[in-house]
Amino acid sequence: MVVSLGELRALLADGVPPGRGDEDSVRRQWWAALATVQADLLGAAPPQPGVWLAAPLPALYEPSLLEWLDGWVWTPVEVGNLMPSGLPLLPGLAPPQGTAPRGTAGRPGGFRRLSLREDDGTDPLLVLITPVLQVALALDGPPQARRLVVRFEASILSAALELLDRRLAQDDPAAGLGLRRRLLLLGPLSNAPDPGSRFWPLLAQRLASMAPSVTLQPLVHGEKRTEGTDAVSSELALLEALTHEVRTPLATIRTLIRSLLRRTDLPAVVRQRLEQIDGECSEQIDRFGLIFLAAELQRQPGSGQPLSESELARTDLSRLLHQLEPLWQRQLERRDLKLVLEITPDLPPVMSDPSRLETMLGGLMDRFSRSLPSGSEVRLRLLPAGSRLKLQLSSDDPESREADGLAAAVPTPVGPVLSWNPETGSLQLSRQATQRLFHRLGGRLTERGGSNLTVFFPAAERSG
């Protein structure tokens, strides 16, 4: 008899009170639960070997954990069907058939992709087993009665592993053997006497501080849509999945690079190259994080509205720009560009979301500078403009560029949030998506051609 992942969710939900949440609320709970498990329960302990099994996307994302864990992930067929022809496979997304996970024959790490079946459902689930923590998480329930299920009991987890072992034996006998081998190597398992007493307060703290937009909607939706709307939703779902898949291996590479940089015996040229790789990884992680956020806002009606006054905070934009200047100098030098920073002294703070603003400014600098020819100068100015502060990015006069045959090419839209720059051969956030993101943070973006970007931020009232 075929084992479905729906049976696993039913097993985990047995005895759990009915839910009362909607989709958005349980998705926030899911992401907060993942962060609690990875950062709070496991992150504070030394690295531990272990196994994890998830659906419909990889649930774990902390590089320091992924390096030590073996995983198996059931993903929707839609992810493969929506892949554009000719797009290279991303790490972990679709390993060749017959390839065993890296850790099954030695050191842990990596995961194997398997395909969801029609009766599996698409609600997320995760079973994580390490010597110091064993936990299963899942979302479950009908619309408007959704719930987050978290189980630590040994009897429930043992039954869940038995179901997963049977499913792996049906999907891929070699993978099932790999799971049993890894569990044997882990030896005796022991949870803390009452792990829930630690987990639930930590989860509540994370939910209290989490921005409302940090959610990931299902890849397959049950509600009725028009054909065009459904196609856009599927495209955005794929984009969210791909950005997650790109950031995870990049974060792992960056972690390994930084561990090497702690060594004192590296030749100067090796250290220089590693620092360059670290910078490129950080730049792309932030870039794909913005793409994820832009896709998320596009998929949630009304989420592109500005944050409320209670969600915005006084932010010293002048200080933030000075802090980012050395990083931007290094990034631009790699493209043979020069940065000139001009900030009017004694400016008031602005009202924005400081936790997201730094990443947004980095994305703006990347978007603006990618199409500039080698040797260009990027001038960043911050100055007062009535009741606002004006942040302006400018470069060489576009007329002089055209005289030299260097007129900027017009980016081509690719879906609802991306555009293709034929001049650089790279994907970037579209103008509309960038405007929406800054609007969310209290700013207003205007763009003139490819040589001038301006963002207006509301100035905060001076204290005292």
For position 199, what pLDDT does the model report? 93
Helix residue ranges, H only, 300-418:
317-333, 354-369, 398-403
| Range 16-27 average pLDDT | 84
Residue 212 has pLDDT above 70, yes or no: no
Peptide bond into 17 cis (omega under 30): no
Return the CA Rg of the chain. 24
For position 284, what pLDDT does the model report? 84
87 band by pLDDT with thresholds 50, 70 and 90: very low
> What gap in Å lies between CA 397 and CA 169, rounded to an integer?
65
Q: 239 vs 45, 79, 224, 289, CA distance in Å?
A: 33, 10, 21, 11
350-381 pLDDT per residue, tens: 988 877 788 888 888 888 887 788 888 999 99
| Range 11-17 average pLDDT | 93
53 band by pLDDT with thresholds 50, 70 and 90: very high
Q: How far is CA 271 from the centre of its chain?
A: 28
> What gap in Å lies between CA 186 and CA 231, rounded to an integer?
44
For position 114, what pLDDT does the model report? 87
Beta bridge partners of 221: none
For position 12, what pLDDT does the model report? 95
pTM, to two decimals: 0.49
For position 160, what pLDDT does the model report? 94
What percent of the chain shows pLDDT beyond 70?
77
| Range 65-85 average pLDDT | 67
For residue 214, the one-letter residue type is: V
Residue matched to tokens 């007129």: 407
Q: Which residue has the higher pLDDT, 463 or 70?
A: 70
Q: Which residue has the higher pLDDT, 183 or 194?
A: 183
416 band by pLDDT with thresholds 50, 70 and 90: confident
Domains of the chain plus CATH, in order, are 5-210 (no CATH), 313-458 (3.30.565.10)
Residue 394 has pLDDT above 70, yes or no: yes
27 band by pLDDT with thresholds 50, 70 and 90: confident
For position 312, what pLDDT does the model report? 80
For position 425, what pLDDT does the model report? 63
For position 395, what pLDDT does the model report? 87
> What gap in Å lies between CA 413 and CA 62, rounded to an integer?
33
For position 391, what pLDDT does the model report? 93
For position 379, what pLDDT does the model report? 94
Q: Which residue has the higher pLDDT, 372 or 422?
A: 372
176 band by pLDDT with thresholds 50, 70 and 90: confident
Q: Which stretches does DSSP call E strand in 3-133? A: 50-55, 69-75, 111-115, 125-129
Residue 202 has pLDDT above 80, yes or no: yes
Distant-in-sequence, close-in-space partners of 51: CB < 8 Å, separation ≥ 6:
69, 70, 71, 72, 128, 129, 179, 182, 183, 186
HEC states along the chain?
Answer: CCCCHHHHHHHHHCCCCCCCECHHHHHHHHHHHHHHHHHHHHCCCCCCCEEEEEECCCCCCCHHHHCCEEEEEEECHHHHHCCCCCCCCCCCCCCCCCCCCHHHHCCCCCEEEEECCHHHCCCCEEEEECCCCEEEEEEECCCCCEEEEEECCHHHHHHHHHHHHHHHHHHCHHHHHHHHHHHHHHCCCCCCCCHHHHHHHHHHHHHHHCCCCCCCCCCCCCCCCCHHHHHHHHHHHHHHHHHHHHHHHHHHHHHHHHHHHCCCCCCHHHHHHHHHHHHHHHHHHHHHHHHHHHHHHHHCCCCCCCCCCCCCEEECHHHHHHHHHHHHHHHHHCCCCEEEEEECCCCCCEEECHHHHHHHHHHHHHHHHCCCCCCCEEEEEEEEECCEEEEEEECCCHHHHHHCCCCCCCCEEECCCEEEECCCCEEEECHHHHHHHHHHCCCEEEEECCCEEEEEEEECCCCC
For position 430, what pLDDT does the model report? 83
211 band by pLDDT with thresholds 50, 70 and 90: very low
104 band by pLDDT with thresholds 50, 70 and 90: very low
**Average pLDDT along the chain:** 78
426-458 pLDDT per residue, tens: 677 888 888 888 888 888 888 876 668 899 998
Q: Which residue has the higher pLDDT, 314 or 304?
A: 314
For position 253, what pLDDT does the model report? 81
Span of 68-72, 180-184, 289-293, 298-302 with lowest mean pLDDT = 298-302
Cβ–Cβ < 8 Å for 114, 73: yes
What percent of the chain shows pLDDT beyond 90?
24
| Range 38-66 average pLDDT | 82
Span of 67-81, 98-112, 190-204, 373-387 with lowest mean pLDDT = 98-112
309 band by pLDDT with thresholds 50, 70 and 90: low
